[in-house]
Structure 1
Amino acid sequence: MKRLMHIVRKGTLSTLDEQLEGSRGNEEDESAVQITDEMQAKVAAKKIFINVAKQGSKRIYLADLMHFLREDEALKAIRLFDGESETQGISKRALKNWVVNVFRERKALALSLDDTKTAVKKLHQMLNVAMVVEEMNILTTVFLRFDKQKITYPNSVLATKPIANYYRSPDMRDDIDFSIHVSTPVEKVSLMKQRITSYVENKSEHWHPAPSIFVRDVEDMNRVKISVWLFHRMNFQDMLERWKRRGLLVEEMIKIFKDLDIEYRMLPVDMNVRKMPTLASNRLPSNWKACTN
């Protein structure tokens, strides 16, 4: 166990280049094939792509990996990305993002093992509040809330509460709800769904394909409630990244609504004026004077 912890804390990620260089007699300095920061992770991903993909190709395919790995190992490797990679290949961007995420996770694990007080630094959801485990004691656990406030819970209380663990969760779903006017033509609604789906599927590094877009309800006889359900290619451990991706999608949806002239209007309100106050001034709004000239 001590050896494992030492490897995680002190070790560095090795790349395929490192193995290739090792077979050539370690001609280059060891630091040149180790990943110690995110920039080196991106450089390593680029070198891997160039060395593995066919010249001029924009993706790495299963056949390319089988030049370096057994068939079962190549299949396991390509399935680390998404279900479509086995047939459509791995893009340069997808490979870069994957290598950077692996580096981040390993770095986070190494840092957490350096201090027993932060040995479980994983994002949790408890009592509808996202918090990070800051310190674990025999009788109490200290959490760090999103605004950096420390909250202490007795372990006897935590033992009776369900705690959702973001860190160990698979790719998670996000929901976006909005309303449109009930008189919106069906053709516009259909085109809106197509454009939202197209945006999501073109952002394959952020989202899984085929989002669910459907009518949820009709409210007050004048608005139709529509929901978009879609899956991130990540869990919500990195909450900031989750909201960035979601924000970009919402901005694109607003652009689509404007392009298609899709809007929501309030119901008309009847007003009966029985008495008007006596006019106490002969001044008129400035735009009225412009209209009378």
Structure 2
Amino acid sequence: MPKQVRAYRERKSLAHSLNDTKTAVQQLHKLASVVSSVIIIVVSLLVMGVASTKVFVAITSQLLLLGFFFQSTGKTLFESIVFVFIMHPFDVGDRCVIDGIQMIVEEMNILTTVFLRYDNEKIYYPNAVLLTKPISNFYRSPHMFDTIEFAIDVSTHVDTIASFRKSIQA
């Protein structure tokens, strides 16, 4: 592959990766803004005396109940954030093998990753599921090679071996 084509592909995959990372960071920013806004509102109501501690206890008990109901959702969200931002086993454009299927990473979000299979089928994997699967990434692996073992009879002429070697190298 020519160097210009390789450089173009690397730049294109880097641009996709940065775009997806920017999208994921924006989603995390929205989530953090909502949580901090709720905390600021509750603290300001307590400081101003509008809400008493009894009201605060009632709201906290309701939030605890909601936390119990959405426990698995919170766990999935946390696992997905850990997978995307801390583990980060691949970038957009990388060629990976998951469950024995070779795919190209097309898009990364906080909760899901979109892969493109060899027949152009899009496969959506939840990041919490990918956290538990072994992932082989061709682009982050060292140079790979194939080996073929064969036997040559001792009585084979040297010219035949030389022509065989040239045809293999071609």
TM bucket by the smaller chain?
0.3 to 0.5
Tell me which protein shows more strand as a share of its residues.
1
TM-score, scaled to structure 1: 0.29
Higher relative contact order (CA 8 A, sep 6+): 2
Tell me which protein shows more helix as a share of its residues.
2
TM-score, scaled to structure 2: 0.46
